[in-house]
Structure 1
């Protein structure tokens, strides 16, 4: 059975592979994206510390809890009369707390939205910060726009255990210090970060830092270091030395949120729409990865098991990015599928198997069935000439104006493979040699074309040395080619010198 001649494979010029670090490869894995549109801006995101790590988002007058398995809303806390702030889980995942613009703080059973357990009214001003103590189940931190930070015992919520009113403006961020539960840090719009010790029992901070801009968020990295965000600047503060460790200017607009990514570093979101990952294990806190969103970022977070990356925007859009399944999960899924298939096959009778025996045989490759209805792509002119053994015409067709560079290189390579370079160049004059030399002069800058150009130029010099000496146009083209080769050689030499200098510096 006859078949069409196999087409010439178009040459694909090699490309330099991108140097992707393991850290970039990890964050690129969050590809499965889901968008959820809320009525108002997403002001806060918090993950349940316990498996399966459901996450709560705070928006408008409600707090919604999304399942980490289905990415759908499983609980909806709506018993608020005003805008809600800072919906947070307790460390055991059993309770959820949130404050609102009226100053009311409410504590719910995290699994039963209708079960309101405790109501606290620390102030008539908006309460933006509500956080449970990391180890003591009954202690709660609240920070309000009345410039006071309070710690409550939720079992006796009539009045706070201790109050810190040494602030000159709104308190919009506050947290317990990592591994130092007796210390709390507050960030204020008066540009100062204050560290209080709950054991002392007075209003004076033990340490005070100047951010030089309103403090939007705080994050405790460890017991001796905290990170603050204000305007477009991120600063790290050393509590032992009592001074700033580093200052990072990586954003064009105000930084709004800081979130811990564990050993992977910290996530930082900004009004300019960027979320960046800073590697805290490096000396300069290098940016390892980042995302760009369509509007300002107000909140962000990654689940403790690094399954979900959640970002909330001021447009009301919630982005949930899920990492691909691990290899073990894939194996489990494949085994489950195989077991299902085996069950289905086991239900078939032996008679059915005998009747369908051989139906799944696909052949061993000796026979090719060609469908005459298949429409083949139109051949290029140089392909038609190559199939007809017209070598000189094929070369002329490959050098026509408007033809893609890949096709030209493909034809030249094909003639070289077939050993027909001399045949394609035979019986030529000044007019027919000029297009080939012009193409060589233009393409010599690309190092990927050097080998093929070298073969054709050597053949031209061997066959038409006398003609080139008599024709000024051809001589000028050869001279231009030589000048460009000299320039490329000089560039290569300069590159070698630079490499040598860098090796000396790194030695």
Structure 2
């Protein structure tokens, strides 16, 4: 009785993949981004706390309100004479306040788009404007180094705080108290004010210019962001530093809560948004964007992730449904291919008196295995190097070459080839020689080709040209390896000196 043919073992090379954590699966459900281009930088994005969670995008000399369903602008506020900043909703979503380069704060009715108030007291650009949680007052921070508290109804200044020594670029109001206000400044200081006492009650030093601040709804913990770090502070302990974290390599520009305050998102000029666990302050996911990020915001229900960039791009990503695993997709594809009769007989259960004859399926062999079975090594190599296979699955070609080496048939498979055929093999070597997983096998293949066709060098112009290309690729890779070894040596020296200084 004939035994079945032993198929060529296709080597599986390990690949670096993202860990399949619940956070990665959750954030990977985001659909491909929708991008919009405007004339100026997108400096602020703010979601309305009320359904359907419209979002205000501040860009150039206007503030636009976008629909979360269509992701298209539904309202435009253009009553600004210069660049607008910090368009922010009130907690009920009915009013919107925005500062500007001209030093004025404008108050708008979101429904009618009418301008209700204009607050005039600052002498420089206003980069911070937010409602207090009692909905009756507005705070504003300016490049004139002052923080002002406004009465909306009376349209006048209640108090001016002049503690900061540089530009005030960010602030937050506490949801736990109507009277607690936090302001971050370029003088490295974040001050918390009690507007009832009209004085500063807490101060912390971030260690660098502060770009954004956030307060937990409980009011006990707040965050400051600036430079390469985010710092968590305990307000109830008098400003005790809880943690310093951050995974960016350029300035962090924006912070946003997400996942019901269980996660914190940070945007940076390095074109990344990092998401952290607010319990451990460890990064759990990362999102990439095409340009440096100035503002990032996540909708209260996590259905939208938005990012505004310095070149006027607005990226909008909507959360999709549950993605199917690879096994589920394969199972669906198999079920779709199954015939009607197959589905019927698949569910048939034979009786005890039935005589069951097992149906032996015909063994399926790949093309290269069929040639291996006939000892036609040249055709087996050609089948593995076929463009349809080698482009998507180079590991198949590598496994076939290793099988030829094991059978001592590599030289046989390469001998007697035309210039075009040799050129194709050399192109494959050139494309994959840099991959450390394939390079040992490809080096043996290249040695065999040079040994067989050394006397043809200078006679086949096509062969000469490809050999020069392969040589240039190998030389380039060798230079990179040399540079990496030099860097590794420098790092070893630094580590050794640091250990010596510590001891």
Q: Is the 8 A contact 1:38 1:316 kept in 2?
A: yes
Corresponding residue for 1:205?
A: 200
Q: Decide whether the 8 Å contact of 2:84 with 2:100 is kept in 1.
A: yes
Q: Is the 8 A contact 1:149 1:165 kept in 2?
A: yes
Say whether 1:172 aligns with 2:169: yes
Relative to structure 1, the CA distance from residue 383 to residue 87 in structure 2 (aligned partners, 3 Å threshold; closer, same or farther) is: same
2:80 aligned with 1:90: no
Q: Deviations over 1:159-178 (max 9, x none)?
A: 21222112211111111124
Partner of residue 159 from structure 2, selected from 158, 162, 177? 162
Map 1:262-341 to 2 at 5 A. 262-282=260-280, 285-325=281-321
- Cα displacement (A) at 1:125: 1.2
Q: CA deviation at 1:44?
A: 0.2
Calculate the aligned-residue CA RMSD, in Å. 3.4
Q: In terms of Rg, which structure is larger?
A: 1
CA distance in 2, matches of 1:150, 1:192: 17
How far 1:112 sits from its partner (Å)? 2.2
Take 2:298 and 2:206, find their aligned partners in 1: how far apart are those partners? 26
Q: Which runs of 5+ in 2 are unaligned?
A: 1-6, 324-338, 344-365, 386-393, 414-435, 438-503
Q: Which residue in the other structure is 1:128 paired with?
A: 127
Q: Quick check: 1:105–1:122 contact (8 Å CA) kept in 2?
A: no
How far, CA to CA, are the matches of 2:139 and 2:75 in structure 1? 24
Indicate if the aligned counterparts of 2:8 and 2:399 stay in contact, CA closer than 8 A: no
Deviation at 1:289, TM superposition (A): 0.7
Contact 1:398-1:407 at 8 Å conserved across structures: no
Aligned CA distance change for structure 1 residues 125 and 363 (closer, same or farther; 3 Å): same
How many pairs were matched up? 360
Alignment of 1:488-503 (within 5 A): none
Alpha-carbon contact 1:232-1:255 (below 8 Å) kept = yes
How far off is 1:9 after superposition? 10
Relative to structure 1, the CA distance from residue 365 to residue 96 in structure 2 (aligned partners, 3 Å threshold; closer, same or farther) is same
Are the equivalent residues in 1 in contact too, given 2:271–2:292 (CA < 8 A)? yes
In structure 1, how many angstroms separate the alpha carbons of the residues matched to 2:215 and 2:283? 19
In the TM superposition, residue 92 of structure 1 has moved relative to its aligned partner by 0.4
Note the 1:53-64 alignment, pairs <5 A: 53-64=53-64
Q: Report deviation, 1:56.
A: 0.6
Q: What TM-score do the two structures reach when normalised by structure 1?
A: 0.64
Note if 1:44 corresponds to 2:36: no
The answer to whether the 8 A contact 2:131-2:137 is kept is: yes
> Are the equivalent residues in 2 in contact too, given 1:399–1:435 (CA < 8 A)?
no
| Structure 2 partner of 1:71 | 71
Cα contact 2:377–2:412 (8 A) shared by 1: no
Judging changes above 3 Å, is the alpha-carbon distance between structure 1 residues 205 and 324 closer, same or farther for their aligned structure 2 residues?
same
| Deviation larger for 240-249 or 267-276 | 240-249
Cα distance between partner residues in 2 of 1:165 and 1:151: 12
Structure 1 214/15 Cα, relative in aligned 2: closer, same or farther at 3 Å? closer
The secondary structure found in structure 1 opposite 2:24 is: helix
Structure 1 equivalent of residue 462 of structure 2: none
Q: Distance in 2 between matches of 1:205 and 1:55?
A: 32
What TM-score results when the alignment is normalised by the length of structure 2? 0.65
Distance 1:76 1:410, change over 3 A: same
Q: Which runs of no fewer than 5 residues in structure 1 stay unpaired? A: 1-7, 328-361, 367-377, 414-423, 426-430, 437-444, 447-507
Is the 8 Å Cα contact of residues 245 and 282 (structure 2) preserved in structure 1?
no
Change (3 A) 1:325 1:151: same
Q: Tell me: CA distance 1:214–1:12, structure 2 relative to 1, closer, same or farther (3 Å).
A: same
Cα deviation digits, residues 183-220 of structure 1 (max 9, x gap): 1111111111111111113xx41111111211111111
**1:251 corresponds to 2:248:** yes
Contact 1:130 1:141 in 2 (8 A): yes
Contact 2:12 2:395 in 1 (8 A): no
